[in-house]
Amino acid sequence: MAAILLDVDGVLHVSGQPIPGAASAVNRLRADGHRLRFVTNNTTRSRAALAGELRAMNVELDDEELQTTPRAAAGALAGRRVLALTMPAIIEDLEGVQLVGESAEIVLIGGADEGPETNNVFSYMNLARAFAELDAGADLYCLHKNPWWQTSRGPLLDSGAFVAGLEYATGLEATVLGKPSPTYFLAALEAVDADPELTWMVGDDVEADIGGAQKHGMKTALVRTGKFRPDAVERSRIMPDAILSSVADLPEWLDRSA
């Protein structure tokens, strides 16, 4: 049996709309004896809320099986003074991080959301505050650096654009805490206690999911849902081991290729 890391957004749902067959596929993978870990770059909801939403879509999982970027940040930045431009809902997962409005050691940029709160978090005033802290010597971290993500309304601008803007303004380079950072994948592998060669990464993002996992020698399956774009695959030169219509096809595909 394999270990399987499953991306969430664009693989199991898009904007909260379940992808047909995704929940039963996940439950079948578990019943078949595969070890599962859910690895998301979501930066707008707490882990408890996200796990609850997946259970409401009939995906069987425990909160502990869900790896999120705010929890990764809490581990990496514990005890540090952090100016966080992040959605309010994830603050509960930043336990142990000292959140400050000035004299920060770290500026942390989270992801955008579909709602109006994003206007407040990434206001000019907040971005200028972040710039001032970086200019005064703070280090730049981000939960992810995604340029955009797929919603039910279509592609939306994500906070990677703000991270790139701050890098441009300061000459600094941000440390990415979520996919495709090596520490994020290593934490997931450790959690399922798996050899990379016996582990599958399943995602809709050819760069962050597939490219990131391949750097660790994992096997990869790209799904044609969520943010999948054929031209992005052709441009990227990253070749997944499998391209599937949807995660719904994964159990069958694994059976056949075993």
Q: Which parts of this chain interact with Mg ion (CB under 5 A)?
A: 7, 9-10, 204
Q: How far is the CB of 227 from Mg ion (least distance, A)?
A: 6
- Residue 86 contacts residue 43 (beta carbons within 8 Å): yes
Nearest-CB residue for Mg ion: 10
- Which is closer to Mg ion, CB of 120 or CB of 245? 245
Q: How far is the CB of 258 from Mg ion (least distance, A)?
A: 25
CA atoms within 13 A on the CB side of 76: 24
- Which is closer to Mg ion, CB of 32 or CB of 207? 207
- Which is closer to Mg ion, CB of 80 or CB of 144? 144
- Which is closer to Mg ion, CB of 10 or CB of 127? 10
- Residue 13 contacts residue 5 (beta carbons within 8 Å): no
Q: How far is the CB of 208 from Mg ion (least distance, A)?
A: 8
Prior bond to 70 cis, omega within 30? no
Q: How far is the CB of 11 from Mg ion (least distance, A)?
A: 6
Q: How far is the CB of 60 from Mg ion (least distance, A)?
A: 20
Q: How far is the CB of 224 from Mg ion (least distance, A)?
A: 12
- Which is closer to Mg ion, CB of 111 or CB of 251? 111
Report the distance separating Cα 110 and Cα 253, nearest Å.
Answer: 35
- Which is closer to Mg ion, CB of 7 or CB of 139? 7
